[in-house]
Amino acid sequence: MKKIAQQAIVIGASMGGLLVARALADYYQQVTVLERDILPNPGKNRQGVPQDRHAHGLLSRGREVIEQLFPGITQELKAQGALSADLLQQTRWFTNGGYLYQKSQSNLNMLLISRPLLEAQVRKRLLSLPNIKIIENCHVLGLLTTPDQTRIVGVRFTHHPSDGSFESTQNADLVVDATGRRSQSPVWLEKLGYEKPQEEQVHVGISYMTRIYRRQPEHLQGDLLTNISPSLPNWRYGVILAQEGDRWIVTIGGYLGDRAPRDEKGFLEFAKSIPAQEIYEVIKDAEPLSELLPYKFPSNQRHHYEGMASFPENYLVFGDAICSFNPIYGQGMTVAALESLALQNCLNLGSQNLQARFFKEAAKVVDIAWSISVNNDLRITQMAGAGSPMVRFLNWYMSKLHVAARTDRVVAIAFLQVSNLMASPYSLMHPRISLRVLWGNLLQLGIPISDI
Ligand SMILES: Cc1cc2nc3c(=O)[nH]c(=O)nc-3n(C[C@H](O)[C@H](O)[C@H](O)COP(=O)(O)OP(=O)(O)OC[C@H]3O[C@@H](n4cnc5c(N)ncnc54)[C@H](O)[C@@H]3O)c2cc1C
């Protein structure tokens, strides 16, 4: 493929940074990723990504796109112990007070693997490309610009190699900020005389308490995942995911500061109190393989870079730095993967006005994931009654859809396609689905269809 410029720099080598670097590798002679951390051996945790110790599900669409970017990676991950699960046959989804239809093939697959191993394999594949370099232990401090500050021309960083630290600069034709939720881009832009992007925060006060257990074949009758969503009036949740090495990762928690205690007895009691009992049934007798580990996540956070009146050339923001979603929906890595595809499409048309074109396309990706997570969060944090009439209607409709999905395989699959970012949320409103929702609810009420 013909390269459009010489040097691109990506700041941050987590999933967002790795995926954007993959997209750039086809268009820039050299892509250099600068990462603050010392990168660990495969499968080990690291400081700059504290969330990697907690349950991480890779949505079906995310796996598909990562496979497209790194052909063969699914098989490589399976060879390292990742498990593949059909989303209806080997998993259980408890939502709005009942389980989705089970024990039937959906042909939607999920790859179950620990976050550190997934990231390590993506990094390995990225590094196998001839024009990629990752410099670890390298903390980016700020941006270099042209004198009129209309164009970014590089970065300033401190590097800490083993033989001493130094501060330096590196020039580039494109700089991408993939530094996550705490990205400094709004501050850096303001210092350069640009307005800050409009910021949206939707408070959720999510807590996670996570522990690893040994997985035995009889657990969950051999199923590989149970996801228990908040269900009126009980807003607690939990997930148990199989991982490589015969392990379970279990995360349980609540909204608005409600959190599982960090002691054995309290943790088990909390697990018993979430809307369904299956996680508790497994962990009450399972062998713990880790300590209890907490995490707090305050809010869905979105920066509207697509709405800025002016923005410097040759600079992009990516992944969680654009939008960080409530993690219980497992969307972050998949959104980063989809943004990577969007960027490839933009680069196919060259580098002119890249920032405006990319932010517009990234906003379309983010809009969908944001509508799924935030609409549901508003139902929970505002206790069902509040929210705009549209949000109230959507949440009412979803509760009816979940009722129908308990007995209707087609509705269950349609829901999983949307929650896995394989289909638009609007697909759930199509008469093909909405009539089945009506039908399913009438049947649950015992009203025969012939009576209407
Ligand atoms: C508790 C929790 C659970 C989650 N669960 C899921 C899940 O189940 N499924 C899912 O898809 N997503 C999940 N996510 C989201 C997912 O982790 C992120 O979307 C994903 O890591 C992509 O984020 P990112 O690469 O943009 O940013 P981050 O992962 O935050 O990475 C930022 C990187 O930038 C580096 N960095 C920061 N500042 C600098 C600097 N100045 N110079 C150099 N390097 C720097 C950091 O060290 C880090 O490597 C979860 C998030 C949390 C918090």
Output the DSSP codes for 170-210.
EE-SEEEE---TT--HHHHHHHTTPPPPEEEEEEEEEEEEE
Any bridge partners for residue 237, and if so which? 253
* pLDDT per residue as tens digits for the range 351-398: 999 999 999 999 999 999 999 999 889 888 765 456 678 888 888 999
How confident is the model at residue 349, as a pLDDT? 95
H/E stretch holding 28 reads strand 28-34
| Global pTM value | 0.96
CA distances from 62 to 26, 335, 370 (A): 20, 7, 16
**Do 316 and 177 contact (CB within 8 A), yes or no?**
yes
Mean pLDDT, the chain, integer: 95
User: Ligand 1 centre from 251 Cα, in Å?
Assistant: 18
300 lines ligand 1 (CB under 6 A): no
328 lines ligand 1 (CB under 6 A): no
How confident is the model at residue 449, as a pLDDT? 53
Average pLDDT over residues 6-32: 98
* pLDDT per residue as tens digits for the range 203-225: 999 999 999 999 999 999 999 99
* pLDDT per residue as tens digits for the range 345-363: 999 999 999 999 999 999 9
* pLDDT per residue as tens digits for the range 273-321: 999 999 999 999 999 999 999 999 999 999 999 999 999 999 999 999 9
User: Ligand 1 centre from 125 Cα, in Å?
Assistant: 19
pLDDT band at 443 (very low <50, low <70, confident <90, very high): confident
Which amino acid makes up residue 66?
Answer: I
253 lines ligand 1 (CB under 6 A): no
CA 257 – CA 281 distance, rounded (Å): 25
Residues comprising the chain, all counted: 452
Q: Which of 82-91, 173-182, 334-343, 437-446 is predicted least confidently?
A: 437-446
How confident is the model at residue 223, as a pLDDT? 96
CA 8 – CA 354 distance, rounded (Å): 13
Task: Identify the residue whose C-alpha is closest to ligand 1 atom 18.
Answer: 332
Q: Enumerate domains of the chain plus CATH numbers.
A: 5-50+59-71+117-200+300-372 (3.50.50.60), 82-114+201-297 (3.30.9), 389-451 (no CATH)
**Among 34, 179, 241, 366, residue to substitute to test ligand 1 (most atoms within 8 Å of Cβ):** 179
How confident is the model at residue 452, as a pLDDT? 46
CA distances from 222 to 103, 161, 250, 279 (A): 12, 47, 16, 13
* pLDDT per residue as tens digits for the range 414-431: 999 999 999 999 999 999
Average pLDDT over residues 71-89: 97
Cis-peptide, bond into residue 233, ω within 30° of zero: yes
320 lines ligand 1 (CB under 6 A): yes
